[in-house]
A and B are shown apart, each in its own frame.
Chain A
């Protein structure tokens, strides 16, 4: 067996910069304030680098940095440190989702969801996560932000409503649209690509 010396992920400036940009994008979307986001990312990076020696793989390192960032973001939200809430994001264009249903609210033919399948082997898993990240990144602004607050930061509905200044009914509708959109995206990019074997996801990013 040969032992290869692997360069730690944080030693490569380009890798670190890529992860930092992904973190910044995520933090800015969540906090809705670029400066606060920069601070959060900076703190998370420093904290992560302190313990960086235990991470050999790039993926583990990235996960660790995002885990730290996640708690920084929640702390900042709860402390209400952000600048005044930005204007409420205008309604996103969901006409493509409306088109899935008839005027009576039934699925249009061919629009009903198919059951999504799990990846089988390691190679498929790798492909699956790339597609999954691409689909997450393609959610429109407010949908992506609220979905990540709920499913990534794991905040309860009541807290999200307070933080994002939306009503429960707005939140539920937004989460619903995000879930429907994600399913449709996975159906196209994962299920179709899986069977044809030719689908290449575009650049993946956050967490």
Chain B
């Protein structure tokens, strides 16, 4: 792996970090790595959007048993 890869991490590593961001506050360096990586990588960008969508969907699921759309959620 070359230098840039060490800084922005691999997609496999980055998606794990994106998932972890749902459980804990990322460190400043991790945030920078995530921004840089997702700016360049549509796959990981989508993974991040989908991960936040899943959290919103689960919120609706808990509260309504799945009766409402995922449209009215606060952004996450």
Contacts and interface: CB of A to CB of B under 8 A. Distances in A.
A207 interface: yes
B19 A175 contact: yes
B36 to A, nearest CB: 15
B24 to A, nearest CB: 7
Given A118-B69, A173-B16, A182-B54, A207 B46 contact: no
Interface in B43-64: 43-44, 46-47, 49-51, 53-55, 57-58, 61-64
Interface residues of B, number: 39
- A: contact size bracket: 35 or more
Given A172-B16, A172-B19, A207 B69 contact: no
Contacts of B49: 115-116
B31 interface: no
Interface string A71-114: 00000000000000000000000000000010011110001111
A60 interface: yes
A128 B22 CA distance: 23
